Structure 1
Amino acid sequence: MVNYNININDYKIVTLLSQCFQDKASVHLAKYLPSGAMVALKRFNMDKIKQESYLVDVEIILTKQLHHPHILPYFTSFVHGPDVYVISPLMAYGSCRDLLNQHFNDGLPEQAIVIILRDLLDALNYVHKRGIIHRAIRASHILVSSLGKACLSGFRYSCPIIVNGRWQKAIHSFPSSTQANLNWLSPELLEQNLIGYNEKSDIYSVGMVICELANGFEPFAGMCKTLMLTEKVRGNIPQLLDCTTISREDNEEYGDHDTNFGLSPKVVNRRFSEDLHKVTDICLKQEPVYRPTAEQLLTDPIFKTIKRSLPLPDLLKPALPLSDRVAFNTDEVEDLETASNFSNLEIFSCEWDF
């Protein structure tokens, strides 16, 4: 295994992949010069995040303590000047949000969702058993490698369930700087009442992510935050959009739709499996006690279909991993240090928000 140095001069930045953390951090494709390996280099501008610097500390410390195949690892981290740098593996497909934005506007194929969901639940089961609530599960925090392995990231908003050596039945703290995550958070977490919340709040977020991956956008998208909270507390449960959940009137309204507004014919005519609908519904139960644990969800029959499924990279076509996009872009790419080789790769709008 490569040991990554903490000297900024050992990393050659190739190009910008994205801005994240409300544009207070940037993610770059970089080359680790001692080995030639390509990595993701994340740079936090600490001058911009002085009041939220503790979130960076929490994420780095916690992520380095977690060791699981479906949690994005950090190779190393270091300070250089006013910036904090974090080095992680290059996830060649970017985030699930990237895939939706660039190739699957109406949602991912069901089998791709099932594979990603299994990896996500595997990571969550590990995290929850270690007494951690993630509190920021969303498509942009799920990254996919070139081999089709999904990894969970975004641990800066997490919190411990174990306090002073004791497992707490409920947590009452509200995550700060979480404006971007509100649509995915559970009703009980948003209510901030005396009952509090536990790791089952993450399961609600899993249900929201299934809807996001299946529909192409997160539930309550475009809705004002006050109305979104009201709808959640009232028990408005999001659904997978297909021919079983869109009414006949909706079909008539959108069936011949050929504009960029509303639902496409593909959406109103498709049919997701009953198993996927059931998993989504049970994750989004209003009362946390009726939601299963991540471990229980992993035993759901829907995951038996993975054995006879195509590999995830095949299911994600026409999307290509970053390395293949480089190869197809030009026959003369021999040195990735030349950023101009990437000018037409459409990698500047990614949401690598890890």
Structure 2
Amino acid sequence: MATSDQPDGWNQEVEVVKNDSSNGVGRHDSYNILKSFGQCFDSGVVLLATKKSSYQSDQSFLAVRKYNLEDCHKEICRFLKEIWLMRNLSHENLLTCIDSFVIGHSLCIVTPLVDYGSALDLIQTHFSNGFPEVVIAGILRDVLHALVYLHSKGYIHRSVKASHILISSKGQVMLTGLRDAYCIVEKGRWQTAVFDYPIDAEQNFCWLSPEVLQQNLRGYCEKSDIYSLGITACELANGVAPFVDLPSTQLLINKFNGPPPQIWDCTTVPPPEHRIILPNQPADSGVFDGVTACSNIDARLEAAYQRTFSRSFHRFTMLCVQLDPGLRPGSTQLLKHPFIQSIRKGSVANWLEYLTLISIPTIQNLSKSPTIENEPTFNSAQLESATFTHDDKEDQRLSRDSIAWDFYD
């Protein structure tokens, strides 16, 4: 019997994946492994591969996520649910699963390669003080399209953040991290509220909405994803997520009782002479809650003080991080916001050029990635030995009988 977070057909898919595992030894020969270039989850490795073909035109790059099932045996059901969702949900802004199989003690999930990596990767390597506004608008627009689709299918993502947003060199944005998704359709009925507490809640405290963390009798709905989107907007703009350095208890107090997070620019960051930041202590202000001196806060704030974000971007973020979910627009309504409307649908040139001007290397061209030589076949020995070392109140008009937003008022 499928539970409320497991859609009809999920159990059948589990059996399919189990059956696939018996054929894994033969199926992995269809791939050539090239290099290990990243880490996923707690102990997973991301491998660069191509599908073996006699036609050179078919040699597109793929990403293979390999998990040691002995290290994460408690997560197997979540992995299988993610595979099911990636295979059965189809949208241009959602990462899909091309293949999955088991070799020995390793689960392998094959997906298309999104060659710039995640938005968090780009922040850490090229945009330490945050992305330009036009890039953020392009990214959030596509993430919103993915959320509109997910919500229309009855799913709450529950893990929207920069590390789950993948960006390609062609300007395609894909949302991943579906292992935390939760189905709000139970026995054919759409639930107005759910009460499930995410397994990885501690790792996602910064991004999870207050109503998800409160676990009260009101529960939460798909608008919890809108709060996470607002936190992600701050993360993309500031280069660091709000609350990120706060202890869990103080984080929860600030999230429930403190001022809402906001994006940093000359209108929200105080001048240098008025900033008080204690060494290794969380900054206690409504402007930059949750960032300590060890987050390179001085440099970040100085860079933020030199820039100005548009009024529509400030209002967009403020709408998303409203404490009361009833005051947040839905994903479909947010697509009509002036900030999102500033990026035309189907046009990526006006924000992608900011990335191409910096000459960001694609994953397949990264020279630092350990390459596996003289072993063109994707075999179990390579999978087992592949390792990766990781260096460590918007002016709004809300109708009481219908949700009608006037973003221009």
The two structures have a TM-score, normalised by structure 1, of 0.86
Post-superposition CA distance 1:8-63 (Å, at most 9, x none): 1222222212122122x111111222243210001111111111211101111111
Alignment of 1:62-73 (within 5 A): 62-73=85-96
Which residue of structure 2 lines up, in the alignment, with residue 9 of structure 1? 29
Which residue of structure 1 lines up, in the alignment, with residue 289 of structure 2? none
Q: Measure how far apart 1:178 and its partner are.
A: 3.2
Corresponding letter in the other structure for 1:133: I
SS of the residue aligned with 1:183?
coil
Cα separation, 2, equivalents of 1:191 and 1:232: 11
Aligned CA distance change for structure 1 residues 171 and 90 (closer, same or farther; 3 Å): same
Which residue of structure 2 lines up, in the alignment, with residue 270 of structure 1? 307
Which residue of structure 1 lines up, in the alignment, with residue 284 of structure 2? none
Aligned pair partner of 1:185 in 208, 213, 222:
208
Which residue of structure 1 lines up, in the alignment, with residue 325 of structure 2? 288
2:151 pairs with 1:100 = no
Cα separation, 2, equivalents of 1:55 and 1:103: 32
Percent identity between matched residues is: 37
Post-superposition CA distance 1:256-309 (Å, at most 9, x none): xxx945234321110000000000000000000010000000011123322487
SS of the residue aligned with 1:184?
coil
Cα separation, 2, equivalents of 1:21 and 1:75: 19
Is contact 1:94–1:350 with CA below 8 Å preserved after alignment? no
Which residue of structure 1 lines up, in the alignment, with residue 175 of structure 2? 152
Corresponding letter in the other structure for 2:256: V
2:356 pairs with 1:314 = no
More displaced stretch, 172-181 vs 110-119: 172-181
Post-superposition CA distance 1:175-214 (Å, at most 9, x none): 1133221210000100111111000000000000000000
How many residues are matched?
330
Aligned pair partner of 1:204 in 220, 227, 237:
227
Cα separation, 1, equivalents of 2:217 and 2:63: 41
Is contact 1:103–1:319 with CA below 8 Å preserved after alignment? no
SS of the residue aligned with 1:97?
helix
Aligned CA distance change for structure 1 residues 36 and 118 (closer, same or farther; 3 Å): same
Aligned CA distance change for structure 1 residues 240 and 142 (closer, same or farther; 3 Å): same
Which residue of structure 2 lines up, in the alignment, with residue 231 of structure 1? 254
Unaligned runs of 5+ in 1: 330-335, 340-346
SS of the residue aligned with 1:143?
strand
Post-superposition CA distance 1:141-183 (Å, at most 9, x none): 0001120111000000110111111111111010113322121
Is contact 1:72–1:152 with CA below 8 Å preserved after alignment? yes
Cα separation, 1, equivalents of 2:351 and 2:45: 27
Is contact 2:48–2:364 with CA below 8 Å preserved after alignment? no
Aligned pair partner of 2:199 in 176, 195, 199:
176
Post-superposition CA distance 1:54-106 (Å, at most 9, x none): 11011111111110000011111111211111111110100000000000000
Is contact 2:133–2:309 with CA below 8 Å preserved after alignment? yes
2:130 pairs with 1:110 = no
Higher relative contact order (CA 8 A, sep 6+): 1
Which residue of structure 1 lines up, in the alignment, with residue 153 of structure 2? 130
Cα separation, 2, equivalents of 1:348 and 1:246: 36
Aligned CA distance change for structure 1 residues 252 and 158 (closer, same or farther; 3 Å): closer
Cα separation, 2, equivalents of 1:30 and 1:182: 34
Cα separation, 2, equivalents of 1:338 and 1:314: 35
The two structures have a TM-score, normalised by structure 2, of 0.75
Cα separation, 2, equivalents of 1:104 and 1:176: 31
Corresponding letter in the other structure for 2:323: Q
SS of the residue aligned with 2:111?
strand
Unaligned runs of 5+ in 2: 1-22, 278-294, 375-387, 393-409
More displaced stretch, 294-303 vs 104-113: 294-303
2:75 pairs with 1:52 = yes
Aligned CA distance change for structure 1 residues 200 and 261 (closer, same or farther; 3 Å): closer
